[in-house]
Amino acid sequence: MADLVAELGEGAVLTEPAALRLYGHDASTIRGDAPPVVCLPRTSRQVATCVRVAVAHGRPFMARGAGTGLAGGAVPTGDPVVIVTTRMDRVLHLDVPGRRAWVQPGVLNLDLDRRLAPHGLQFAPDPSSQQACTIGGNVANNSGGPHCLALGVTSAHVLAVEVVLPDGEVVVLGGDGPEPPGYDLRGAFVGSEGTLGVATAVLVRLTPLPPAVETMLVTFDDLDRAAATVSAIIAAGIVPAALEMMDGGLAAVVEDFCGAGYPRDAAAVLLVEVDGPPHQVAADAAVVEAIARAEQARAVRGAADDAERAALWKGRKSAFGAIARIRPDYYLHDTVVPRAALVDVLRQVRAIAEDCDLLVFNVFHAGDGNLHPLLLFDAREPGVMDRVHSAGRRIVEVSLAAGGVLSGEHGIGLEKRGFMADMFGPADLEAQARLRCAFDPEGRSNPDKVLPGGSRCGDLAGGPASPGSAGPGAGAGDAAEAGLWV
């Protein structure tokens, strides 16, 4: 504690129990214990110091951004030193013609977009939490969002990451060029949920804002037709900028809440957005409309201007606000299934919810099969949490059985650690553990996340200690030499 205060200053180290308790959880339903100390560094060098001090005292460490994660990735385990990146909120260097920027991990996703908009650029990953989540969090979770169907998830938009390794040394993974030498450690780091080290600066790739956009709200009386429309759009050679589906019940609730023009009595609605060069967009929009009508869509409503487009999206984004009036709590699930299996899985999800006596609504990124069942409940009801978790387990099982994966956006964290063995075999998990051990042989960085217990470095067959690995307390001199953002 004293070491941390000496290096960071009193205002940057939290030790008061009431304040520490607030860091015992993130935005998921998983609660952990209050960590022993929370640090709020401002520079890469200070982060490296936090890590070194933690290691020198034999403690693990854990990074945290805004704490909006839904899988428990930022829930403290093992009494770690928590390193909060919220004060590292500067854009370090913006290169408009080069379409890239070095940013600190605490920059908020939407703040970055706002800063870029006057230059005609954006940072493509747009998770629903984008107004609050940090770039560092996006990197840790390999975040997606509705617009990732065409543009790709965070990994496709990160060129390099400056990382404080679990031994306190600082390296830059990836680089400014397209094919840096060696392995794609940058790619391995993105989505590693804070288990390989702490990102202290990120070189993000910026995407030009599209010249033309068309947004349409399509109403269906039949869920199968809605799903068929999604497949048909893809089969027609169109990859929309966004392709969101909401079940009819949610659309009705949303309409009651914010009057965005959604139908109250449909089976499903589709929000389709196509963007790109103007003629392409016009042609694609026409094809989408034709397909929708061929699939007996009840209505196709295109946005005439930006204001109307914002109104259509408002409906989609108001989903949480709308359901809050029905029940005070919700559990947002996250699975991915092949698009062809979407309707079938949806039916099974509804059956599970009914079986567990819970309300469920569904919103999904239909374009990439990313399903988000929303279970509604009142947490104060005795015994309800057991039913909620049971429903969650069964939803995961159903998704895997349909040929899907465990998570499309939220990550594994603590929430789905227990399911990893259902998706991956022992050799697969071992391979993942090897990656982790190469970075963190002693398991100090956000321990107990992602991989189920038992995948420890010592248990792995073979594997001598990495040659010449530096011990704790190694200086950061090399970092400055390498031109890092310390």
Nearest-approach distance from CB 107 to another protein, in angstroms: 11
Residues 6+ apart with CB under 8 A from 251: 262, 263, 264, 266, 268, 269, 315
Q: Is 179 in the site for another protein (CB under 8 A)?
A: yes
Cα 274 to Cα 237: distance, rounded to the nearest angstrom: 12
| 99 forms part of the interface with another protein (CB under 8 A) | yes
Count of residues interacting with another protein (CB under 8 A):
145
Taking the complex as a whole, the smallest distance from the CB of residue 336 to another protein amounts, in Å, to: 5
Nearest to 195 by CA among 394, 4, 420, 444: 444
Q: Which of residues 247-276 bind another protein (CB under 8 A)?
A: 276
Q: Which of residues 439-478 bind another protein (CB under 8 A)?
A: 439, 450-451, 460-464, 466-470, 478
Q: Which is nearer to another protein, 153 or 217 (CB)?
A: 153
Q: Shortest approach of another protein to residue 232 CB, angstroms?
A: 8
By C-beta, is 168 or 248 nearer to another protein? 168
Q: Please, which residue, 66 or 251, has the CB nearer to another protein?
A: 66
Pick from 13, 14, 206, 291 the residue near another protein by CB under 8 A.
14
Q: Per CB under 8 A, does 400 bind another protein? A: yes
86 binds another protein (CB under 8 A): yes
Q: Which position among 152, 299, 311, 442 is part of the footprint of another protein (CB under 8 A)?
A: 152
Q: Are 430 and 463 in contact (CB under 8 A)?
A: no
Q: Is 383 in the site for another protein (CB under 8 A)?
A: no
Buried b / exposed e over 31-63, threshold 16 CB at 10 Å, is: ebebbbbbbbbbbbbbbbbbbbbbbeeebbbbb
**115/293 with CB nearer another protein:** 115
- In the region spanning residues 206 to 245, those forming contacts with another protein, defined by CB under 8 A, are 208, 211, 231, 234-235, 237-239
Give the residue, chosen from 155, 200, 215, 229, that forms a contact with another protein under the rule CB under 8 A.
Answer: 155
Query: Would you give the binding string for another protein spanning residues 26-45, x where CB under 8 A is met?
Result: xx------------x-----
